[in-house]
Structure 1
Amino acid sequence: MARRPQDYDEDDVRVRPGRRGSRPRTRRRPAHDDAVNGFVTAVDRGRYQVLVEEDRMVTAMRARELGRKGVVVGDRVALVGDVSGEPDSLARIVRVEPRTSSLRRTADDTDPFERIIVANADQLVIVTALANPEPRPRMIDRQLVAAYDAGMDPLLVLTKADLAPPDDLLAEYAPLGIPYVVTVQGKDQTGELLPHLTGRISVLVGHSGVGKSTLVNALVPEAERAVSHVNAVTGRGRHTSSSAIALPLPGDEGWIIDTPGVRSFGLAHIKPENVINAFEDLAEGAAERCPPHCDHLQEDCGLDEWVAEGHASKARLDSLRRLLASREGDAE
């Protein structure tokens, strides 16, 4: 028998997709006072490895209430749900604590979208080979700018000193007073490096083939990071790390965070006026000699006179100007 028009029940109610219901939404969110604190050590396809209570690894996902806020290696977070760490268990990350630092980069200098690589680290370990592949000073400069912008201390690690001497490259960065370590293949690579890492959260960066994974394996043997081989023709290495991972140093004396090898380090997210702050040997000259609002590319820039008087090297000024020019879209 056909129903009369007035005979309705709950099955007759339809809601258009995308339309808000009649229930009012609230800005209030659960306080999660019982949440467990943790430290994110790895990220893999929407799943996060989180260390809780210093001895238990928990797999977690982001809670919907986080919205668009991302979670990266190094983040300190709050977890609810199953935090037992048992197989097939899954917790939820409901809060990301304020970050003390954020190491960021963009794909290139024209990319408006920045990417946070690591959070809460206090030292950037810039790893570069002295040969095979050849050192790239401009890459080092870019990573220095990123370190200073993030409020991190830089440490320069030069590998493969058995293939080429480090003197020229060290002389180039001597005016900045950056601490450095030089390593040789086949010899102990941890003796001089480890004291710089103790008690700190350090991020290792560098392009493929420079020896980052070799250093990580020497520092944390159980890490078993894959080591790449450098192409003899191109001088380029193969990417062996696909994502960042935090590893505890022996004796819980600090953390090192290994990151994938990169071939570029965009600085589009950094204000141009902040770039010169990474060049302390030139920043003083800019304050004393440059006209107001100098972009350090103009003809009356006071840095040329500063360099001519011997306060800084011309190579450093050239490097600064290449960075500034690339930010404006000029060819590198």
Structure 2
Amino acid sequence: MSWLTDVEDDEYDEYDESAIRVRPNPKGNKPRTKIRPEHNDSVTGRVISVDRGRYGVIVDEGTPKEHRAISTRARELGRKAIVTGDFVDLVGDTSGDDGSLSRVVRVQPRSSLLRRSADDTDAVERIIVANADQMLIVVAAANPEPRPRLVDRYLVAAFDAGITPILVLTKTDLADPSKFLANFAGLELRVIRSSTDEFPIAELKEMLDGHTTVAVGHSGVGKSTLVNALVPDANRAIGRVNDVTGRGRHTSSSTISYRVGSGWIVDTPGVRSFGLGHVNPDNILRSFGDLAKIAEGCPRGCTHLPDAPDCAIVEAADRGDLGEIGKLRLDSLQRLLATLA
């Protein structure tokens, strides 16, 4: 009987957890944990440039200690985008000395996001800049010819992001921009005019002071020339317009922020298309406050386009309740909504 007991004990010893040998960890790695450090010692900075995984960040902004630090992304951020204009929290060496490198551990909540998609059918968005409150839409009166529909797209993106659009007309000495500007007569759109070689720098600097302003525009319209006039040491590359195609050559290849007074101007690469697949049409209507109030009487799902049945805005226009300016604003709204449709 004792022999059987010994056999049974031997069998159970074979599966005894205490008898299992634990392989030593030669590297001394700590076990992985989901607990992340709080980084209470982090400092806050503004991202002013992004280049191949390195971020130029202004630290101690607005103080005598203001300086530029170079940072990389912390692993815990995962795939969260870090873009020009972001306010981020940094740890590590934020001194900005040669060879120093800090890490971005947090992206602070954004007040606005200017986005575009590859085309109108693509809902995947690309963030251009964060926390901007103004948009300079730079358009040439000629060479290259102005494109009202592209400006419509910029306006849609600005209204969707809650950013105030401002139209800057360059090269007005080459052509009269009146016909082009008539497309936007119904909008409360501030317009700045300039000639080929001269910008109203004082007016522009006053307008940009205290704001974060993103500059957008078709290649060759003079956007980088404008930035260089505002910030002489920016040295943004300037291209010329092709005499055969009438198109500008892409020169700016990155999005960079420059100080203008107490504000910032963000220069972006020139684009020939601006996809709006991510935009919510309701955001466009909200930018037309007077018409949005009338639209409260529209049926659900109303497109507010001329053929929309029982549209309260269209009916108000037909009755003459909107007035001349109201009709112009409705025309602008419908054109922008048709851009999305």
User: What is the aligned partner in structure 2 of residue 78 from structure 1?
Assistant: 89
Deviation at 1:143, TM superposition (A): 1.1
Shift of 1:234: 1.5
Give CA deviations for 1:262-314 in whole Å, capped at 9, x if unaligned: 111111111233333445675466445x4442123545264555555443248
1:293 to 289, 301, 319: 301
**Aligned to 1:56, which of 67, 75, 80?**
67
* 299 and 101 in structure 1: CA distance in 2 versus 1, 3 angstrom threshold: closer
1:45 and 2:52 matched: yes
Q: Which residue of 1 aligns with 2:335?
A: 319
Aligned position for 2:33: 25
Q: Is the 8 A contact 1:131 1:163 kept in 2?
A: yes
Structure 2 partner of 1:141: 152
> Could you tell me which residue of structure 2 aligns to residue 87 of structure 1?
98
> 2:229 aligned with 1:213, yes or no?
no
Q: Say which of 229, 235, 243 aligns to 1:224.
A: 235
Answer yes or no: is the 8 Å Cα contact 2:139–2:146 preserved in 1: yes
Q: How far apart are the structure 1 equivalents of 2:93 and 2:308? A: 63
Identity %: 53
Q: AA paired with 1:312? A: K
Cα deviations by residue, 1:217-267 (Å, 9 ceiling, x for unpaired): 000000011111011222111111111000001xx4211000000111111
Distance in 2 of aligned mates of 1:101 and 1:36: 22
**What's the counterpart of residue 181 of structure 1?**
192
Residue 258, structure 1, aligned to residue 267, structure 2:
yes
Distance 1:23 1:132, change over 3 A: same
Confirm or deny: 8 A CA contact 2:153 2:336 kept in the other structure: no
Greater C-alpha radius of gyration: 2
Deviation at 1:199, TM superposition (A): 1.2
The two structures have a TM-score, normalised by structure 2, of 0.82
Structure 2 counterparts to residues 68-217 of structure 1, below 5 A: 68-217=79-228
The residue that corresponds to 2:5 in the other structure is none
1:31 Cα deviation (Å)?
1.1
How much does 1:158 deviate? 0.8
Q: Structure 1 residue 146: deviation in Å?
A: 1.2
Secondary structure in 2 matching 1:142: helix
Q: TM-score, normalised by structure 1?
A: 0.84
Contact 2:186–2:332 (Cα < 8 Å) also in 1? no
Distance 1:48 1:7, change over 3 A: same
2:120/2:340 contact within 8 Å kept: no
The two structures, once aligned, show a CA RMSD in angstroms of: 2.6
CA positional deviation for 1:176: 1.2
Q: 1:188 to 1:149 in 2, by over 3 A?
A: closer
* CA pair 271-12 structure 1, distance change in 2 beyond 3 A: closer
Shift of 1:24: 6.0
Paired residue total: 309
CA distance in 2 between partners of 1:11 and 1:40 (Å): 44
* Contact 2:304/2:314, CA 8 A, preserved across alignment: no
Letter of the 1:275 partner, please give it.
I
- Any idea what SS the aligned residue of 1:117 has? strand
CA distance 1:10–1:188, change in 2 (3 Å): same
Deviates more, 1:278-287 or 1:35-44: 278-287
Please tell me whether residue 270 in structure 1 is matched to residue 279 in structure 2: yes
- Give, in angstroms, the shift of residue 61 of structure 1: 0.4
**3-state secondary structure, aligned to 1:175:** coil
Superposition deviation, residue 12 in structure 1: 11
Q: Could you tell me how far 1:88 is from its partner in structure 2?
A: 2.0
Q: Which amino acid aligns with 2:258?
A: L
Distance in 2 (alpha carbons) for counterparts of 1:47 and 1:80: 15
CA distance in 2, matches of 1:61, 1:24: 22
Greater mean alpha carbon deviation, residues 159-168 or residues 311-320: 311-320
- State the 1:205 CA deviation: 0.5
* Aligned counterparts of 1:180 and 1:32: Cα–Cα separation in 2: 45
